[in-house]
Amino acid sequence: MAAEEWSGELARHLGDRMLSLIPFARTLGRVKFRPEAALEVFRTVHDDLGFDHLSMVGGIDWVDHREVLYTLWSDRRVAYLFLSADLVGSDPHIETASAVWPGANWHERETWELVGIRFDHHPDLRHLLTPDGYAFNPLLRAFKLHEPEELEVKTRHV
């Protein structure tokens, strides 16, 4: 599909909910959308554009804001598409995609606990990989790793 045709189709369906389309090699590009209109964008992309398979949800911490990145696959178009939204503020949050793609459930739980992006109306926003009550978001840039501290070694009491 020609690039102009594709961007025209995107603009026709998404309208002003789409902010920009960044071309990306061997995919259909990276679509930036307004986070306020997330649910309509998801529904449009799923129902009208035919991206029925959600591969992953990830988050990137750009220090001044956080970006949530959805990777979608369409069997009809045989191609990948990225959806991304910039979330600013101290409590970054976006509407859940699990109402449209049920498979987003766990990906969003993971992104919530590791990158600290909250997903509104998520059916089951619990810790998945880290223990319950874990207070940190390890994938933020401010979270630094260090060599393990010295811990007491257990020995057998003879």
Partner 1 sequence: MSASPENAPRPQTPATAIPALPMADAAPAVPFIEIEALRAEQFIPAAKEALGAMIAEQGRDKLTRPIFNWAGRNSLFPLHWGLACCAIEFAAAFGARWDAERFGVVPRSSPRQCDLMIVNGTVTWKVAHKLVTLYEQMPEPKWVIAMGNCATGGGPFRTAYSVVPGVDKLVPVDLYIAGCPPRPEAMLDGILKLEQLIRERKE
Partner 2 sequence: MSEMWINMGPQHPMTHGLWNLRVKIDGEQVLDVDPEMGYLHRGIEKISEDRHYNEVITLMDRCCYVAGMSWEHLYVLAAEQALHVEPPERAEYIRVMSDEFQRIGSHVMWYAAFVQDIGLMTPFLYGMRDRDLVLDLFQSYTGARMTYEYMRVGGVRNDLPPGFIGEARKVCDWLIDRFVEYDQLCLNSDIFHKRCDGLGVMNAQACIDHGITGPMLRSAGVRRDLRKDRPYSAYDRLEFDVAHAEAGDVTARYLVRMEEMRQSVRIIRQSLDWLEHHPGPVLAQELPRWLGAPYAPVGREGYLLKRNYPKGLGFSAIEEPHGEALAYVVNEGSEHPYRVKFRSPVFANVSAARQYLVGYRVADIPPIMGSVDVCVGEVDR
Number of residues located near partner 1, criterion CB under 8 A = 16
* Partner that binds at residue 60, options partner 2, partner 1, none, CB closer than 5 to 8 Å by kind: partner 2
Residue choice 71, 130, 135, 142 for contact with partner 1 (CB under 8 A): 130
Nearest C-alpha neighbor of 125 from the set 78, 26, 44, 57: 57
Whole-angstrom CA distances from 94 to 25, 48, 86 are 27, 21, 10
Looking at the Cβ atoms of 12 and 154, the one nearer to partner 1 is 154
Q: How far apart are CA 104 and CA 107, in angstroms?
A: 5
Closer to partner 2 by CB, 35 or 103: give it.
103
Contact between 131 and partner 1 per CB under 8 A: yes
Number of H helices, E strands in the chain: 3, 7
Residues that bind partner 1 (CB under 8 A): 130-131, 136, 138, 143, 145-148, 151-156, 158
